[in-house]
Amino acid sequence: MKYIVCETPGDFKLKEKDAPKAKPGEALLQIKRVGICGTDLHAYAGNQAFFSYPRILGHELAAEIVAVESNTKNLNAGDKVVIMPYVSCGTCVACRQGKTNCCTNIKVLGVHTDGGMQEQITVPIDLLLPANNLSFEEMAIVEPLAIGAHALRRANVKAGETIAVIGCGPIGIGIMKLAQLQGAKVIAIDVNKERLSYAKSKIGVDHTVVANKDAANQVKEITKGDFATAVFDATGNKFALESGPDYMAHGGRYVLVGLSKGELIFSHPAIHAKESTIMCSRNATLEDFEVVINALPEFPTDSFVTHTVGFEDMITHFDSWLQPETGVIKAMVEL
């Protein structure tokens, strides 16, 4: 079977190998779609944390079951399944608390271990969610949206709150739409005016703010002096991450969803005065995936998936997806 491997930063190779064989407790899957996310782009560029080479990328996956043993999920050959790509140990301190998303021994497909940029893959049955009612495109965006669902659950966002989301990339857009479905009002913040326009026209956010020196004042004005009761960073950009508390209300929560490789600096008096709650949000759980699967009928998948290419054409198109001027929101590889 064919697969694409990132040998070193900036270097993809199309290769062939034998198809895998499922072990007990695993299913053999045919990959149908692979969504391209910031993790893949950063890995290709050589600036992704928790990463080593060579690596087969791909963790936003839509698949069909080729073969599976009898299982309690009643999954059968031919079923369409979403893959939760976080393999947890089940025994560490985090797993014992139900926080499998931050397992001390976590292995994320396409990051710590080889992912889905290959024709077939084997995956533990426990990580599969039935999705016969979804299109392959919808299935492949469940994972990035689940990251947003998890962040909202971490922050315990309630109906009627006004939240701010920094970054109108795929993760930020997911947070915005899911927050709206929970009854929250959303302020979208970004440097890219086209992305802000998309957030307004397709996602329906209440307000958009260009991330400049006056951004905090604009948030203050929108909220009649209160600022946002919850702020989410979905950029991973150091400057954006450090600016988050500026948009946050007293008594508010700041959720770091984006990941930066370096150190962050906050003014202690500023965050202390607000009795800030600063938290990180990593990956997602099966519960978050289920929330997203149920919410997908309300999500604008057609406009969200902006670029689709065939498997063998991916290598020649990947560089363009690093360029903002191409208008990429979500690129997808079709097998």
- Give residue-wise pLDDT tens across range 144-198: 999 999 999 999 999 999 999 999 999 999 999 999 999 999 999 999 999 999 9
Of the pLDDT bands very low, low, confident and very high (cuts 50, 70, 90), residue 52 is confident
Strand 248-256 and strand 228-233: the pairing is: parallel
Packed helices 142-155 and 286-295: angle between N→C axes, nearest 10 degrees: 110
Helix (H) or strand (E) holding 290: helix 286-295
> How high is the pLDDT of residue 146?
98
DSSP one-letter code for 133:
T
Judged by DSSP in three states, 84 sits in coil
pTM of the model: 0.95
Mean pLDDT to the nearest integer, 252-260: 95
Give the span between the Cα atoms of 186 and 206, in whole angstroms: 5
* Phi, psi of 157, deg, nearest 5: -65, 135
Provide the pairing of β-strand 128-130 with 80-83.
antiparallel
- Residue 147 tokens read as 């990251």
pLDDT tens digits, 103-130: 999 999 999 999 999 999 999 999 999 9
Label residue 217 exposed, middle or buried (CB < 10 Å: 0-12, 13-18, 19+).
exposed
Instruction: Provide the pLDDT for residue 51.
Output: 79
Map out the domains of the chain with their CATH numbers. 2-141+299-334 (3.90.180.10), 146-280 (3.40.50.720)
82 strand-pairing partners? 62, 129
DSSP for 66-81, written as a single string: EEE---TT---TT-EE
Which residues touch 42 (CB under 8 Å, ≥6 apart)?
A: 48
- Give the residues across from 6 on adjacent strands: 12, 55
Mean pLDDT of the chain: 96
pLDDT at 300 over 80: yes
Per-residue pLDDT band at 261 (split at 50, 70, 90): confident
Tell me, what amino acid is at 108?
A: V
Rounded average pLDDT over 264-269: 97
